[in-house]
Amino acid sequence: MGRIVTEQDGAVGRLTIEAPERLNAVDAAMLDDLAESVRRLAATDGVRVIALTGAGRGFCSGASLDAITGPATEVGGDTLAGVSRAIGAITGSTVPVVALVNGVAAGLGCSLALACGYVLATESASFMLAFTRIGLMPDGGATALVAAHIGRARALRMALTAEKVSARTAADWGLVAESCPDDVFAERSAELLAELAAGPTRALAATVAAVNAGSLADLDAALTREETGQSRLFTEPDFAEGVAAFTERRPAHFEGRAAPAAG
């Protein structure tokens, strides 16, 4: 079972996604815990910045397949609802939230990172919208978050091809604020958190809120569109095939949709 580990280190609140055996893939309960933990830390006296990271060698590999498959699509629906709550808690935090991306950030994991006000990634990390590989569309606000960071063309490139983007490329594109060599990641993380924790907390939070309002004004609508679209895709044969192919470690053979007859 995965969990969200919450700690306070002086002025720094720390949240760790902990399910290392599955590269920190999350389920509905973990997403609800994450949302509540962000709100609780932001309201804790003395906490002036929140750091979000993953346990082990990954940041977050997305939603656990167990959380979005099963005999009833309500299972996936619970996860989608949890996604919206977690993204909303991060983007609406009253203190800055920093993503310390220590490994793969795929699918929902990419969205969780980009929802944060500042993303620092180790050079061995990667970012990926892997949804189409299992017959799904991006969720977690990715259709708004990724485009806001890198523009429509690159957002669609990531979403349509499920390309793995290295941290260096992500920094060059503007997908993340900064990447650094693995051997100085801990030192740079501590330095960044100390700098933000010593800053004017209310001014920093107001700055993030203003930038989010200007660049992510469509985020709530995007989450709603994604939830509607994803719920439909959960029932499609291509999703069942995508999950089967992933589980069996083979290429997927999607049915797609036949072109309309000419004439």
Reply yes or no on whether the pLDDT at 176 is more than 50: yes
Q: By 3-state DSSP, what share of the chain in percent is helix, strand and coil, each rounded to 5?
A: 50, 15, 30
What three-state secondary structure class fits 104?
Answer: strand
Reply yes or no on whether the pLDDT at 263 is more than 50: no
Q: Across residues 164-188, what is the average pLDDT?
A: 98
Phi and psi angles of residue 214, each rounded to the nearest 5 degrees, phi first: -80, -35
Return the minimum-mean-pLDDT range out of 3-17, 93-107, 232-246.
Answer: 232-246
What three-state secondary structure class fits 48?
Answer: coil
Long-range contacts made by residues 68-77, C-beta under 8 angstroms, separation at least 24? 68/234, 69/243, 73/231, 73/234, 73/235, 76/230, 76/231, 76/234, 77/227, 77/231
The whole-model pTM stands at: 0.94
Q: What's the confidence (pLDDT) of residue 258? A: 53
Q: What's the confidence (pLDDT) of residue 78? A: 86
Reply yes or no on whether the pLDDT at 72 is more than 50: no
From first CA to last CA, the distance across the chain in angstroms is 55
Return the minimum-mean-pLDDT range out of 81-85, 168-172, 259-263.
Answer: 259-263
CATH class of 3-182+204-241: alpha beta
Residues above pLDDT 90, as percent of the chain? 90
Q: Across residues 122-141, what is the average pLDDT?
A: 96
Reply yes or no on whether the pLDDT at 259 is more than 60: no
User: Which residues, in sequence order, are bridge partners of residue 166?
Assistant: 126
Residue 108: which of 79, 74, 66 has the closest Cα? Answer: 79
Q: What's the confidence (pLDDT) of residue 163? A: 97
Q: What's the confidence (pLDDT) of residue 193? A: 98
User: Which residues, in sequence order, are bridge partners of residue 180?
Assistant: 122
Q: What's the confidence (pLDDT) of residue 70? A: 55
Q: What's the confidence (pLDDT) of residue 67? A: 67
Per-domain residue ranges for the chain?
3-182+204-241
Residues above pLDDT 70, as percent of the chain? 94
Q: Across residues 31-45, what is the average pLDDT?
A: 98
pLDDT digits (tens, 9 = 90+) for 95-113: 999 999 999 999 999 999 9
Reply yes or no on whether the pLDDT at 238 is more than 70: yes
